[in-house]
């Protein structure tokens, strides 16, 4: 089967960098193999799911250029869960439980107090039919658990972590359906992966125990499970889990001037054996993606590194890709001149004002004013006006280096540094350049 991956966020908030990394790696895995990448909105939790977050997820993936090949919503698939549920129930793999949340919490606390793992004790299995009927007559609706098979160990060859082995007896039978009939995560996800033809599930290492449970569900439904891979989670640059990573999303990054290509270049490579490089092409990232490159150590997200990548990415973007976001009138030549000085694209407006003016003139001493007056007189427009002007002034005054170039830059731009003057001066134009030199000479 062709490789088919999915990104399955719950619409309970905005995407953050950890979610984005998961989405990206699934997109890269599919693209590298010439397969398909699906977006699945896991919105079975009606109380917490919000339509505005569904729209935000789609918008963020669009901004990142991670366009899915298709989309499913669990809320639209609810009828599809009933038949597998009844099949598992008839096979004895689902059983009703009547404990309240408070009872279960108390049992967990008792076990923890004894130094034991807080596993469910399967007390509901000991209830007779009469006892169950009595509870339901009292108005106690059951929630449903999946009965794990303790006879066989659970194992798989993880795409990142290698061989994995779990003792099912060390896991709690998971609740798959609440008393009100609503679904929890585990079983609908398995049913959807089967129905959508998902071949590869790549997600965070915090889902490893979920995978162990879900593998038994695939077996119970007589379906071939996907290949599973669990990558290390993101941590801050200082090596500790950073709470801010949980709130650092596309909206905050966009507002900070980060280009999507820079974010993707960083998230594609951190935590891998490959170097982090300013690769602006998503397809190039996909061609080089390999699960074998993902490491077991926590992946360190460094915002300073992201800023450096952002500048490097900007310095290679063509004018056509950014033209709609540039100040009015800023053409390809201006972009070529200005982009080496950009840290974020919003900086382009500041540099463009150097071209369009007005520039703030500083005060020069008498000697410099005389030099700038001479520059205004000797300015001749041609193919290389900067080269011609500096050569003429060097011959006339004997100046060279900083003494020659800096006063000219200051008078023409109001700055001590910036874009290369041979590229910038033609953008300013002959009349405006001469007028700036005259004003500086009279300052």
What is the per-residue pLDDT across 18-52, written as a single tens digit (0 to 9) for each?
A: 999 999 999 999 999 999 999 999 999 888 999 99
Three-state DSSP at 92 gives coil
Residue 392, class by beta-carbon neighbours within 10 Å (0-12 exposed, 13-18 middle, 19+ buried)?
Answer: middle
Three-state DSSP at 90 gives helix
Is the Cβ–Cβ distance between 17 and 234 less than 8 Å? yes
Q: Could you give phi then psi for residue 207, rounded to 5 degrees?
A: -100, 10
Cα distances (angstroms) measured from residue 184 to each of 149, 362, 408: 20, 68, 69
Is residue 287 scored above 80 in pLDDT?
yes
pLDDT of residue 183: 96
How confident is the prediction for the chain on average, in pLDDT?
95
Is the Cβ–Cβ distance between 61 and 8 less than 8 Å? no
Region 136-159 average pLDDT: 96
pLDDT of residue 443: 81
What is the side-by-side order of every strand in the sheet holding 70-73? 4-7, 36-41, 70-73
| Beta-sheet pairing, 154-158 with 162-166 | antiparallel
Q: Domains (ranges, CATH) in the chain?
A: 235-319 (1.10.1160.10), 357-441 (1.10.10.350)
- For the chain, what's the residue count? 443
Region 257-279 average pLDDT: 96
Is the Cβ–Cβ distance between 199 and 167 less than 8 Å? no
Region 170-198 average pLDDT: 97
Six-digit token string for 54: 């569904």
Is the Cβ–Cβ distance between 212 and 171 less than 8 Å? yes
pTM: 0.90
Is residue 248 scored above 80 in pLDDT?
yes
pLDDT of residue 140: 95
Is residue 276 scored above 90 in pLDDT?
yes
Is residue 241 scored above 70 in pLDDT?
no
DSSP assignment of 409-438, as one string?
Answer: HHHHHSSSS-S-HHHHHHHH-HHHHHHHHH
DSSP tally for the chain: helices H, then strands E:
19, 12
| Beta-sheet pairing, 143-146 with 94-97 | antiparallel
Helix H or strand E encompassing 157 = strand 154-158
Nearest CA among 157, 159, 160, 171 for reference residue 210:
171
What is the per-residue pLDDT across 78-104, written as a single tens digit (0 to 9) for each?
A: 999 999 999 999 999 999 999 999 999
Six-digit token string for 174: 């998971």
Is residue 372 scored above 90 in pLDDT?
yes
| Beta-sheet pairing, 175-177 with 200-204 | unpaired
Instruction: List, in sequence order, every residue forming a beta bridge with 33; answer none if it has no partner.
Output: none
Percent share of the chain, pLDDT over 70: 99
């Amino acid at each position: 089967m062709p490789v088919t991956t999915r990104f399955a966020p719950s619409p309970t908030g905005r995407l953050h960098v950890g979610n984005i990394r998961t989405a990206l790696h699934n997109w890269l895995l599919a693209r590298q193999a010439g397969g398909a990448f699906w977006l699945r909105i896991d919105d079975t939790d009606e109380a917490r799911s919000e339509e505005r977050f569904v729209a935000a997820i789609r918008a963020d993936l669009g901004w990142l250029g991670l366009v899915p090949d298709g989309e499913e919503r669990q809320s639209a698939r609810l009828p599809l869960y009933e038949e597998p549920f009844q099949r598992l129930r008839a096979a004895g793999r689902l059983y009703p439980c009547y404990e309240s949340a408070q009872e279960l919490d108390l049992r967990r606390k008792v076990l923890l107090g004894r130094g034991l793992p807080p596993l469910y004790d399967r007390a509901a299995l000991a209830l007779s039919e009469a006892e169950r009927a009595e509870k339901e007559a009292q108005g106690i609706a059951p929630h449903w658990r999946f009965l794990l098979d303790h006879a066989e160990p659970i194992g798989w060859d993880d795409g990142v972590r290698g061989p994995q082995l779990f003792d099912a007896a060390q896991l709690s039978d998971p609740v798959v359906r609440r008393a009100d009939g609503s679904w929890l995560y585990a079983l609908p996800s398995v049913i959807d992966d089967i129905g959508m033809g998902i071949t590869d599930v790549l997600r965070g290492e915090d889902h490893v125990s979920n995978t162990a449970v879900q593998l038994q569900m695939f077996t119970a439904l007589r379906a071939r499970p996907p290949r599973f891979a669990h990558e290390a989670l993101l941590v801050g640059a200082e090596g500790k889990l950073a709470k801010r990573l949980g709130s650092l999303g596309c909206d905050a990054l966009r507002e900070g001037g980060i280009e999507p290509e820079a974010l993707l270049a960083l998230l594609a490579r951190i935590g891998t054996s490959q170097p982090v490089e300013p690769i602006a092409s998503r397809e190039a990232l996909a061609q080089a993606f390999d699960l074998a490159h993902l490491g077991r150590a926590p992946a360190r997200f460094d915002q300073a590194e992201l800023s450096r990548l952002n500048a490097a990415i900007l310095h290679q973007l063509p004018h056509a890709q950014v033209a709609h976001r540039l100040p009015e009138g800023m053409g390809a030549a201006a972009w070529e001149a200005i982009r080496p000085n950009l840290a974020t694209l919003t900086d382009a407006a500041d540099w463009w004002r150097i071209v369009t003016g007005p520039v703030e003139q500083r005060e020069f001493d008498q000697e410099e004013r005389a030099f700038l007056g001479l520059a205004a007189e000797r300015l001749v427009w041609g193919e290389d006006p900067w080269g011609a002007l500096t050569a003429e002034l060097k011959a006339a005054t004997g100046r060279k280096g900083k003494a020659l170039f800096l006063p000219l830059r200051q008078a023409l731009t109001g700055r001590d540094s910036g874009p290369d003057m041979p590229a910038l001066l033609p953008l300013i134009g002959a009349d405006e350049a001469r007028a700036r030199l005259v004003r500086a000479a009279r300052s």
